[in-house]
Every structure is written in C-alpha cells, then in structure tokens.
A and B are shown apart, each in its own frame.
Chain A
Amino acid sequence: MTTYQGIFDKSTVRFLAVLIAIAAAVPLLNTLDSSNPLHVSTYTMTLMGKYLCYALLAVAVDLVWGYLGILSLGHAAFFALGGYAMGMYLMRQIGDRGVYGDPLLPDFMVFLNWQELPWFWNGFDQFWYAALMIVLVPGLLAFVFGWLAFRSRVTGVYLSIITQALTYALLLAFFRNEMGFGGNNGLTDFKDILGFDLQANATRVALYIASAVALGLSYIACRFVVTSRLGRVAMAIRDAESRTRFIGYKVENVKLFIFVMSAVLAGIAGALYVPQVGIINPSEFSPLNSIELVVWVALGGRATLYGAVVGAVAVNYAKTYLTAALPEVWLFTLGAMFVLVTLFLPKGVMGILQRKSPANSSGSDDDTPKPELPQDGVKA
C-alpha cells in the first residue's frame, strides 16, 4: 500500500531538501554583485539548469531500467521529441523577426522555398498546445512502440537493440530537410517564451526554477509509482518476468504504463532543456546520447532514483570540464567509466554508500539482474 511515509522516506526527504536548497540558493546568489566571491553567473545557472534537465531524464531512465529491468537504448529519442515540440513553439514565437521576416514561416522553410506551413506545425503558436504535444508525442510513440514490443514479448537485449534502431531511424528521419523540422541545423535562434525574452536574466531564473520544480515533482511521482503496488509488480517483473505472469499479473500493462510514463518524463526534460541551451537538432537522437545517459544511471546506482540524479550531474559536470580542458581525454574517461562501473560497481556509487550504512537501504536490495542466458531474451 502506498503511504505518505512510503513515498517520503528518509532518502527522498533528504534529496528534496537538497534540491530545494539548490533551487533557491542559485538564483539568490545570482542576484549578488558579480565582484562578490559567492556570485553565481547566469551562465553557470543555465548550465545547472541543463544538468537538472539531464537529471530528470536520468530519473526517467532509472524508472524503466532500475525498477522494470528494461534497458532502453532509445530514451534520448523521447527527450529529443519533447525538445522538438518545445522548439516548434519557440520557432512560432519568433514571428516576423526572423532573417527573412516571414510572419508565418520559420526561416528554414523560407530558405527551402516552402509556400505554406506543414499541417503538423499548426497549433504550435499556442503554448498550451505545445505543452500538450510535449507530453503527448513522446507518450504516444512509447505507447505504440511498447504496445507492439511488450505484447510480442520482445525482452532483454532484443528490446535494447530495437530501441536503438528506433532512435537511429528517427535520427536519419530528422536529418532530412523534407521532414519539415529544419533538417541538419534543427531549430534555433529562439527569441521569446510566453512573451518573455529568452536572453533576459529573469527568464533564465524562471527556467532554472521550472527545471528544479519539474525534477522535484517528477521525483515524487516516481516515488509514488515505485512504492505503490504497481511498483512492486514492476520489480517482480524485473526479477522474474515469467513467474509474475504465471501468478496472474498483466505484465504487458504494467510494463506499458511505466514505459510511457518514463517517456513522458523524458519529453518534459527535453522541453525544459531546449529553451535553456537555445537549440535542438537531430544529433540529440544519436544512439550515443541514449547509451551515454544509461551510464549516468549505472554510475549513480540503479533503482534508487537519487542515484540517477547524482550520476547525471557528476558525469555531465565531468563532461563539461573535460571537453573544455582535455578534449582528447573525455571519450577515454567515458569509455573507462562504462567498463569500470559494470565490472566493479554493479550498484553504482550509491551502492558503495549504502553498504556503509545498511539501515538506509530503501531501494531494492538485490538489483544485480538474475543470470539469464541470451536465448532467454526472446520467447516466441
């Protein structure tokens, strides 16, 4: 049974406290005079906002991987779709201030000599419609994909590979100019959001806080799900899918629900990410991105939720630092991280911390997947 105490256990309360503290402190420190040593520049704040979006994405991946045992190698696709929905809204907000000054068509369409707005761009001038699409498009794709895959009982590595194929197909599709999403260059040059200037400090603060709030609320929602009966069934599926099915649970429905929820969270993360970085292009779909975010979760520790957040922030901080300071070293580091984490830290960094204080174990105690033979992956 879901209880108030169940959702807000010690680790969740601690996490939320830290999140609220950071969410409140950074904008405050941002208002300080720039000569003050405690001053946080707007650049740093936006960077942290970006990390918060990544953290939300990592939580979404942890939900399906840590609690349901599905290793999705295509979650960046949902992130990017949410981002594109937001990007389309921001494009329509530009109005006639584009380079070509067309009141209706975005610059790239004028450039391609398009005469009218494609039908799927209609409605994106309204924020509510864009917000709906941010949730709906990734959710619908996850629903259709999951409905087909789970009903056919495609599991394990096969599922991982076809999720990767999915994001790869989307990558190729969005690269095409004919798709009407700006092709190679994607969507960029945004001006306003809801009438506020995107470059303005206040807007950036608002976006940062929105990211933090979205992360906090999503975290609570995920906690709600994983501590509920549904969450327990999900974990049962992760540990012994066939047995759960034989007991009488509708395995497909549980999987589908959690998969779609995770995709929606990823879409929201993408939507908050785009106005902060100012661009969305097809490279967000690249299979590498999806796999990279899996290592965030693996590093932080699966099936803890907060581990995913810690992993996302840590890896991305390392990425920001290394790609600037030692660009040659970054891929070596990332690669070594993959190898070392899987070999030596099956429970991630949080696993080590948990071992020191056993009383604090809130997630699943045994998240080492059962040994399974490869042929187990697919059952006809």
Chain B
Amino acid sequence: MIARVLWSFLLLACALTTHAATLEQGLEQLKSKDFSHIEQGIATIAASGDDNAELILNLLLNGEIYRHKKSNELVTIQGKEDKQLIIVNLFDDSGDSAQTVSKRKIKKVRINNKLRASLKSAIASLKLNSNDPVLRLEAVNQLIGKLNPVLYQTLLERQQTESDDRVKSLIDVALAVTDLNSQDSDKASQINAIELLSESLQPAARNALQQFVDETDNASLKFKANKGLRSIDERRKWAGHAETLFFGLSLGSVLVLAAIGLAITFGVMGVINMAHGELIMLGAYTTYVVQLLMPNNIALSILVSIPAAFLVSAIAGIMIERGVIRFLYGRPLETLLATFGISLILQQAVRSVFSPLNRSVATPEFMSGVIEINPVLSLTLNRLYIIAFCLIVFALLFMLLRYTRLGIEVRAVAQNRAMARAMGVRSEWVDAMTFGLGSGIAGVAGVALSQLTNVGPNLGQAYIIDSFMVVVFGGVGNLWGTLVAGLSLGVANKIMEPWAGAVLAKILVLVFIILFIQKRPRGLFPQKGRSAEG
C-alpha cells in the first residue's frame, strides 16, 4: 500500500508539470534534435487526451514523421513521384498542403531505443482508454513489468472503473508485478503481491514470480513465491489436461460423425459399404458447391448445406443400394468388393468434375474465434461446434430409430427379416430407406469435415478405415457403442500424441483395436439376445 501512495505522490508531481498540455505543444517538442526534448514531447502528446494522440505516436514509432527543413512543419510522406517525394502536413485530410520535394528537403524525426520503449508504453496507456476490451487487454499485457509511476497511477485509476473482468484481473497482475519488484515496496505489500500473482494464471504472473525467486535474498518471501509457483503449475497442468480432453473430444466427434452412418448400414443392415467415405466426400463437395452458389452469405450457406448434403448423399446411397447392393444381400465379402468399386468410380468422377486439387471451404464467422476460459485454456469455437453438432446428429438419429415408424421397421427387419415381412413390413423399402439414412448422415458428416480440412477427392479414403474401426470397436449394431468408441478413441489419440507423435499415436490406436478385436470380437457393447446369434 505504501508503495502505491508513494507512486501517487510522484504522479502528482508529474501531473503538475504536464498540466494543460496540448497536442500542439507536444508536436513542437518533436521538432527538436534533442532526444530528451522529444521524450518530453511524447509525454505531452500522450497526456494531451487528444483523439489523434495515438495515431501520431504510432507514426512516430514507425518512423513515418518527417520535419520539412524549410517550413519547419511536421509532415508525412504520401507517395513518390519520379525521385521526388509527395509530402503532406500532419492532420491535413484535404491534402491541400501536399507538395513535391526532393528527399534532402525533409528530415526524419529520429528516435532511439529508449524513446521506442517509452513510445510503446505511451501507446499502451492510450489504448487503455479504448472501448474494445481486447485492445485494452493487449495494452495492459504490454505494460506488465514496464510501469513507471505515471502509468502505475493510470492503471490504478483504470482498475477502479474497469468493467471487463479479464482486463481488471490483468491490471491487478500488472500492479502486483510492479509492487513485487519495486525498491520502495515493503514486505507486506510484496507478500500481498505474491499472493495475488499466485492466484493468477497469466503467463506474465508466473514469469514475474520465477524472476523474483531467482533474484530475491529474502528466504521467507522466496518460500512464499515458490509455493505460488507450484500452485500455478498445478493449475496449468489441469488446464493442459482439460485442453487435451477437449481436443480429444473434438477429434472423437469427427470420428463419431464419420462412423455413425456406417453404424447404421453396417451395424443395422449388415452391409459393408466401402463407398461410405466417398459419401462423406460427396457431402463435403455439396458444401463447396452451395458456397459457390451463395458466396455472399457464408453462414447461411453452411446451414443450407446440411440438408443439401444429406439429400445428395442419401440419393447416391439409395441408388447404390437399389443398383448394386440389393443383389448381394447375404454375401458380405462380395458387397465389400462391389462397393469398393463404386468408391473408386465416385472418386474418379469427382476428380474429373472438380479437378484433383483440394478445394477449401470458407468457415462462417460465427464458427471462428475462441472462447477463453482462463489465460492458459481457450477453446476454439469451430471444434466446439463440431462437438455440439455431433451430439445433435446422434440424438436425432437415436430418436428417429427409437420413436418413428421407420425406426421401428428398421429394427424389426434387422432383427428378423422373415418375421418382419410376415407382419407386413415392406423390407425392400426399409432397406433402401435405411441405406439412404446412413448415407445421408455420411453427407452431413462431410459438411462438418469441410470445416476442418480441405475438400478433395481423397477425403473419404482417409476416414473409411477409422470409421470401420470405430464401429467394430463399439460393437456392431449399437449406436451408443459407436458414440463411446468414437469419443474414447479420439481422446486416446490426443493423450498419446504429445509423447508419441501424431502418426505413432494413430498406429498404436490401430494396433490396439486389432488386438482388442481378438479379445472381444463383438466390440465394447456386444448385441445381446436372439438377434445376436443370427
């Protein structure tokens, strides 16, 4: 506290000298060749409260302010004409003062490193008054560890009025860092500072504590700071775990989305559809085409793409079922080969129509950005949307199979085809619809994938093996199994990635599943009851 009081006295002194400072006075001082005058000028401009102050300081920092030798006016360069320069006076928006001069007629207002540093903090302190919390946050971040008495007081005042919590807590950190390292601080305020910093997850807080531990001679303070460091590290570790979990869940959601259509065609119908990946690809290309059709409204185009992709892939799926698969029921290995042939044809068709190059699909604005939980844990929005999307698709599909007439008929045919037919279920129609449903879901998965990767002819191939693994791992014919398997494989992959690398993690997961199937050939959640005996 005493430190703060001391600072405020110093500030008072400063405030008196710069009283009634105006922008013009500051600009006059910039014309000097003496660095100390320029420094005063910077302070004057910063304190002037003028709207243009920040702009001028930035120009100065970038070395874009010149002094016209003859008129002694401050100018900036507007353009070049032959070897001459077009210059214009500062604050001349109309361009009346524009004139063409040779290079030698003007002189740059020079700054040195010391001035550069004070410019930066002056700009930061100006930014503190910005309306945008992000800019304010950036400003405080820049100021941490570089507070002079004036800035300290500015921050102290700012802290009282600050409405944004993140900015407020960062200001606390900035003040505490200064309290901790200041010569004038007494032990009590230093302890206060350590406690405050220990609570914070800001990287700057940890750095300050670490530095303090390295430099201080006071054993009790050092002990406290060390304790704080440990608690910070502990919480950072948890944040790391949470982040891994989040990444894993988002990867798992992608796997679930890709696999869930397969869980229907393979699990419920017993059809091995190797063209499933290509149906995903068709969905992704549909997104691309819809976006080409409505380039001005990306957000809407994504929403339109979802039903469009569902329809395109569902129709393609029904055509595959009616044209090929229905002749092969009961011969799974033949189905596998025939659908693989279809996947090759679809790949080449896309390659011929859209070119073999990857296409990129724009991400709508509402999906880009991050949610910052705390300074060391932030969640990217597009991954969050994918997780939510996956859960919604799963819930809809689950309800459809559970509560609608189609769902009941699908399950009836899956359990006992002959009996279902005897009860009047049109099994052929149900087959086509089921296959269409599974394929349509694949198309919807394609919309989600188009937001994560480039859209290309090989998009589907990359996911087909993973999808089969998820379905088989979860237990064939079990939607819950697919969900659990997909999410857990995603998380397992991300947990292993830091120490094994992405490729090795994937190999390990594959090997694990191969071994797992040996042990439990029916997957995590095997089907029970008579239908399972087949």
Binding site for B on A (CB under 8 A): 71, 148-149, 151-154, 156-158, 160-162, 164-166, 168-169, 172-173, 175-176, 287-288, 291, 294-295, 298, 328, 330-332, 334-339, 341-343, 346, 368-369, 371-380
Contact = CB atoms under 8 A, between A and B. Distances in A.
A291 B534 contact: no
A375 B465 contact: no
Nearest to A291: B340
A295 B337 CA distance: 8
A376 B476 CA distance: 12
Given A149-B518, A335-B341, A335-B344, 8 more contacts: A157-B333, A165-B469, A173-B503, A338-B337, A338-B342, A342-B337, A374-B476, A375-B532
Contacts of A342: 328, 334-335, 337-338, 341
A339 B342 contact: yes
B343 A335 contact: yes
A338 B340 contact: yes
Interface in B259-290: 266, 270-272, 274
A333 B271 CA distance: 24
A7 to B, nearest CB: 28
Interface stretch (B180-188, B211-219, B299-307, B345-353): B345-353
A176 B351 CA distance: 28
Interface stretch (B139-147, B245-253, B489-497, B509-517): B509-517
Contacts of A161: 468-469, 472
A339 B338 contact: yes
B396 interface: no
B338 A338 contact: yes
B526 to A, nearest CB: 7
B332 A377 contact: yes
A249 B374 CA distance: 65
Interface in B488-534: 503-504, 506-507, 510-511, 513-515, 517-522, 526-527, 531-534
8 contacts: A152-B518, A158-B517, A160-B336, A169-B511, A172-B506, A172-B510, A335-B348, A342-B334
A148 B520 CA distance: 12
A336 B345 contact: yes
Contacts of A176: 503-504
Contacts of A380: 520-522, 526
A339 B519 CA distance: 34
B227 interface: no
A338 B511 contact: no
A175 B504 CA distance: 10
B465 A294 contact: no
Contacts of B513: 162, 165
B95 interface: no
B340 A148 contact: no
Contacts, number: 149
A209 B513 CA distance: 42
Contacts of B335: 342
Interface in B370-419: none
A154 B517 contact: yes
Nearest to A153: B521
A160 B331 CA distance: 13
A93 B352 CA distance: 44
A61 to B, nearest CB: 12
B524 to A, nearest CB: 13
A154 B522 contact: no
Contacts of B527: 375
Given A169-B510, A342-B334, A373-B534, A158 B519 contact: no
B344 A334 contact: yes
Nearest to B469: A165
B465 A165 contact: yes
A372 B504 contact: no
Nearest to A294: B337
Nearest to A159: B517
B517 A162 contact: yes
B328 A343 contact: yes
Contacts of A151: 518
In this complex, which of A175, A294, A339, A369 has the most chain B Cβ atoms within 10 angstroms of its Cβ?
Answer: A339
B475 to A, nearest CB: 10
Contacts of B345: 331-332, 335-336, 339
Given A71-B333, A152-B518, A165 B526 contact: no
A379 B331 contact: no
Contacts of B349: 332
A361 B465 CA distance: 38
B332 A157 contact: yes
B510 A168 contact: yes
B63 interface: no
In this complex, which of A173, A338, A380 has the most chain B Cβ atoms within 10 angstroms of its Cβ?
Answer: A338
B324 interface: yes
B482 to A, nearest CB: 15
Given A169-B510, A342-B328, A343-B324, A336 B465 contact: no
A153 B518 CA distance: 8
A165 B341 contact: no
A330 B271 CA distance: 27
B330 interface: yes
A71 B469 CA distance: 17
Nearest to A163: B514
Given A169-B510, A176-B503, A374 B332 contact: yes
Nearest to B519: A152
Contacts of A373: 270, 330, 534
B327 interface: yes
A154 B341 CA distance: 25
Contacts of B324: 339, 343
